[in-house]
Structure 1
Amino acid sequence: MTELLADPSSDREALLVELVDDTGAAIGACSVADAHRPPGTLHRAFSVLLFDRDGRVLIQQRAAVKTRFPLQWANTCCGHPLPGQPVAEAAAVRLGEELGLTAGLTEVGSFRYHAGDASTGRVEHEYDHVLIGVTDAVPRPDPAEVGSWAWVAPTALRTDLAASPAKYTPWLAEVLDIAERAHTAAEA
């Protein structure tokens, strides 16, 4: 008898996320799938944005099999820490899983957002921690996670975000704002 391999995206949907209140304080846990059912439950997440030595940012097009916002362009990588897991630790693990990269990561801010994905019916309601890092390494993406990737100047990204917002995830603009302010301050 042949055993079918589990779909990795469905396995990720069973992982736990940390539920938070409006201030980001932990208040419980539920599965990824449950947190993203309408109307969405506020939970902890992270978004990584890597810069190269020329100041460009690494963005990725989410794979077609993603359960939320498939094929849209987003920051370098994102995900959810397990309940009680340090955000920077979870972000470093996810960066390796999605893009085969390592980088020193620094948390530079956070924000809350709520967005529905009309194509999948899922909802993001996240308290999102933004982390940045610097690398010149070439990504080695997992095709189950990443459809494509590109290094792009932040000004060009902002212009395209304004002209074609449907190409991008709803959280990318805020991640870019927070990350670029912190990166510019660190370079000064």
Structure 2
Amino acid sequence: MSGREGHLVELVDDGGRAHGEASVSAAHQPPGRLHRAFSVLLVDPDGRVLLQRRAAAKTRFPLRWANSCCGHPAPGESLVEAANRRLGEELGAGPVDLTEVGVYVYYAEDPATGRVEFEYDHVLRADVPADAPLRPDPDEVAELRWVDPATLETDLDVDPRAYAPWLGGVVNRLLRPSGPAAGAPGPSAAPAGLPADDASERSGGR
């Protein structure tokens, strides 16, 4: 088991309330165990979002386009702390101001690797300059590109297999924000939140 696969994720119920922990590897074995995750979208002044193409070495959905950065907070770790940690590890980006724009639950099986994603996913936005210095880790990221989110929604319908299965829900929350959800630890938690929608489809990243 790789080092990151042995890191811990926070197991949650369908309302986002923590009730245990499991290793990354165990949480992503079929049939999957619902756990907390986050998806970051970096947005430039023109409203474009930064996508990364996942490296070939990824154990889930390699070489697919995904949002700027993904990951799992360790049990009890705040979303903001975890997301900024992963932005540094994946993209070489400095700490940014993050805002939670929504949350949703999705389930997806990777036919290429046999792994499963079953996640309570907090969608986080950060506004950054288009020329923000980035130093992507080639073990994590194969390519980067800036795209218009409305165009991306169309592309997701035309060629869904080019993209990670969670990306559609992430972009939807960016364009139609609902605010933070209850149940998450740290600064991004709120006293009340909207329930997560169902979707078809210290820890490391996804």
TM (normalized to structure 1)? 0.90
Aligned position for 1:165: 160
2:22 maps to 1:30 = yes
2:87 maps to 1:92 = no
Q: Which has the larger radius of gyration?
A: 1
Residue 180 (structure 1) shift: 2.3
Task: Return 5+ residue gaps in structure 1 as ranges.
Answer: 1-8, 184-188
Task: Return 5+ residue gaps in structure 2 as ranges.
Answer: 179-206
Q: Distance in 1 between matches of 2:8 and 2:90?
A: 19
Q: Distance in 1 between matches of 2:2 and 2:51?
A: 24
Runs (4+) of structure 1 moved beyond 6 Å?
none
- 1:10 alignment partner, SS class: coil
Q: Provide the aligned length of Structure 1 versus Structure 2.
A: 175
After superposition, what is the alpha-carbon deviation per residue over 1:105-156, rounded to whole angstroms, capped at 9, x for unaligned? 1112111001000000000000001100011204210000000010011122
Q: Distance in 2 between matches of 1:107 and 1:62?
A: 23
Kept in 2, the 8 Å contact 1:104–1:133? The answer is yes
Determine what percentage of the aligned residue pairs are the same residue. Answer: 60
- 2:153 alignment partner, SS class: helix
2:113 maps to 1:128 = no
**One of 110, 119, 125 as aligned partner of 1:117:** 110
RMSD: 1.3
Moved more, 140-149 or 156-165: 156-165
- 1:173 maps to a residue whose letter is G
Q: Distance in 2 between matches of 1:96 and 1:182?
A: 25
2:97 maps to 1:104 = yes
Kept in 2, the 8 Å contact 1:59–1:73? The answer is yes
Using CA pairs under 8 Å that are at least 6 residues apart, name the structure with larger relative contact order, 1 or 2: 2
Q: Distance in 2 between matches of 1:76 and 1:139?
A: 11
Aligned position for 2:176: 181
Kept in 2, the 8 Å contact 1:88–1:107? The answer is no
Aligned position for 1:140: 135
- 2:52 alignment partner, SS class: strand
Aligned position for 1:45: 37
Moved more, 172-181 or 39-48: 172-181
Aligned position for 1:83: 75
Q: Distance in 1 between matches of 2:135 and 2:46?
A: 20
TM (normalized to structure 2)? 0.82
Kept in 2, the 8 Å contact 1:107–1:131? The answer is yes
2:50 maps to 1:58 = yes
2:64 maps to 1:69 = no
Residue 182 (structure 1) shift: 3.6
Aligned position for 2:203: none
Kept in 2, the 8 Å contact 1:13–1:32? The answer is yes
Residue 78 (structure 1) shift: 0.4
Q: Distance in 1 between matches of 2:73 and 2:103?
A: 14
